[in-house]
Amino acid sequence: MLVTVNGEPRELPPAATVCSVVELLAADGGREREAAHRGVAVALEGEVVPRDSWSSTRLRDGARVEVLAAIQGGSA
């Protein structure tokens, strides 16, 4: 199925969850799986998916997922 992750289309297996998307992005960057969850937040269709629901939240075809992480910032 096709899912939009951070604005980019990605082909994912039918049983893909939010957790698998987070770990897919970590693998893109060559990061350890354990480090993948730290400081990361996920929005699905404009709603927060709390981290304890990542592995139980399945994605539907056409879903829109935003995976966010900390950057330097904070105006002033």
Residues binding other proteins (CB under 8 A): 6-7, 25-26, 28-29, 31, 38-43, 46-48, 50-51, 66-76
What is the H or E stretch that residue 48 is in?
A: strand 47-49
CA distance 28 to 14: 20
CA distance 57 to 32: 22
Looking at the Cβ atoms of 2 and 68, the one nearer to other proteins is 68
Closest distance to other proteins from the beta carbon of 19 (Å): 14
Looking at the Cβ atoms of 14 and 74, the one nearer to other proteins is 74
